[in-house]
Structure 1
């Protein structure tokens, strides 16, 4: 799990750098031919991590229902994200790592709802969920790399 956590931390560092490299207007811009923007992808990976890890283990997690509903799979941006919300997402990118790792080390993930994701990953354990999360974050990083060329 240490290698998995190390990869996850690096992934989140890369996502975090988008807040330094792009203005709020750029983060919110939906380029022609795209359904979402840089900031939506960031919010989405945060929500998906909470869904895969916490909801999959029948636990509440650390994000609001409002954020969950705004960035879950099947959604897209409906209005620009405010600076306040962007700051919250920026904070969650890193703060959730330590919380989740601490929860893992405290063995709070005692059960897991077995299921197959929309992309075909069969999840039968919390370990599967962590691995799927890293894959998912890598996939959305690819989307960011495409979108950034047009903002």
Structure 2
């Protein structure tokens, strides 16, 4: 199963996702944006994302990711070993930074 980084961390630890799947499905590999979100949807997404960061910290602090299994696709695709939750969180920062850089480039281009 291919999931985004945050949900992948939960999946790899055998935990339920903190974010509604309807927000995850459009972010899976091979997908693309389908239209624009309105102000209400943007506010709902922002609230959900902030809540998921808080939940991630709480779950990390209570050691909920002890059963994390290594991520072979990241190792094969990017050459980065992700063997535990600390590796996964480091990779998450890299991954999100990559997307932020792409978005910043597109904003300058457009």
| Fold shared per TM-score above 0.5 | yes
Q: Runs of 5+ in structure 2 lacking a partner?
A: none
Alignment: residue pair count:
105
Root mean square deviation, CA, Å: 1.8
TM-score, normalised on structure 2?
0.82
Partner in structure 2 of residue 106 of structure 1:
62
Kept in 2: contact 1:57–1:110 (CA 8 A): yes
TM-score, normalised on structure 1?
0.62
- Alpha-carbon displacement from aligned partner over 1:7-51 (angstroms, at most 9, x marks no partner): xxxxxxxxxxxxxxxxxxxxxxxxxxxxxxxxxxxxxxxx72322
Corresponding residue SS for 2:78: coil
Q: How does 1:1-151 map to 2 (within 5 A)?
A: 48-116=4-72, 117=74, 118-151=77-110
Kept in 2: contact 1:53–1:126 (CA 8 A): yes
Q: Runs of 5+ in structure 1 lacking a partner?
A: 1-46
Give the CA deviation at 1:150: 4.1
Give the CA deviation at 1:147: 1.6
Of 52-61 and 126-135, the range deviating more from structure 2: 52-61
